[in-house]
Structure 1
Amino acid sequence: MFKKILLVSALLVSGASAHTAVMTCFDNGDGTITCEGGFSDGASGSGVAMYIKQNDKKVSEGLMNEDSEFTFAKPQGEYNVNFDAGKGHVVSIKGQDIVE
């Protein structure tokens, strides 16, 4: 019985990790940032909520487009870009980590 429970638990854990949210962002060099997002199993990020936070306050928000991209004006100062596909599927990238 213990082996069956362990096997089921392992399958549930591996199934949960097969749908991890992923995002990358880059500086376009023209005052804008573009982020691409989706899921580790290849699923599109189209329609996923995106928002930019500064000082724990949302300063911009929108949705990933049909190409799973989101472009926004680069804020001055420190900020975080967030890909929010719901509980357990949120990715946040610090502005200082986004390069051309």
Structure 2
Amino acid sequence: MKNILSVRRLLFGVVVSSISLLSFSVSAHSPVCNCYNDEEGENQIICEGGFSDGASAEGVAIRVLDDRERVLINGVMSEDSTFTFARPDADFHVVYDAGDSHQVTVYMDEIE
């Protein structure tokens, strides 16, 4: 009986430790994205993406949507973790989509 309780306590400790480590690693890999007006290109917007742990955003999907959620522009982040596009005439927002629970939305009024 003592052995069973010891094993249960040990397993409980392992499970709690695993969950703690998992939650730490998830929070250490948060997506980040910032968009700004290109000073050199007229009506061009540059978005820079990445992750809080410094990981590259190369290949991460990025979409420019109108206010009805219709896709205006589809693309992916380049090798240097950027995406450049022409400013749409209509209201828009940018969605940096790195997968489940890893989306960042940048609204047009946040772009400087």
> Looking at CA atoms only, which structure, 1 or 2, has the larger radius of gyration?
2
Larger proportion of strand: 1
Match of 2:95 in 1: 82
1:3-57: CA deviation from partner (whole Å, max 9, x where unpaired): 5543332221111111111111101242010000011111100111111000210
Please give the TM-score of this superposition, normalised by the length of structure 2. Answer: 0.80
Q: Distance in 2 between matches of 1:62 and 1:6?
A: 40
Please give the TM-score of this superposition, normalised by the length of structure 1. Answer: 0.89
How many Å apart are 1:89 and its aligned residue?
A: 1.2
Match of 2:22 in 1: 12
Q: Give the number of equivalent residue pairs.
A: 99
> Which of 57, 61, 69 is the matching residue for 2:74?
61
Larger proportion of helix: 2
Q: Distance in 2 between matches of 1:11 and 1:63?
A: 31
Unaligned runs of 5+ in 1: none
Unaligned runs of 5+ in 2: 1-8
Identity %: 39
How many Å apart are 1:78 and its aligned residue?
A: 1.8
Tell me whether 1:52 sits opposite 2:64 in the alignment. yes
Match of 1:37 in 2: 49
CA contact (8 A) 1:50 1:63 kept: yes
**Structure 1 residue ranges (4+ consecutive) displaced by more than 6 angstroms after TM superposition:** none
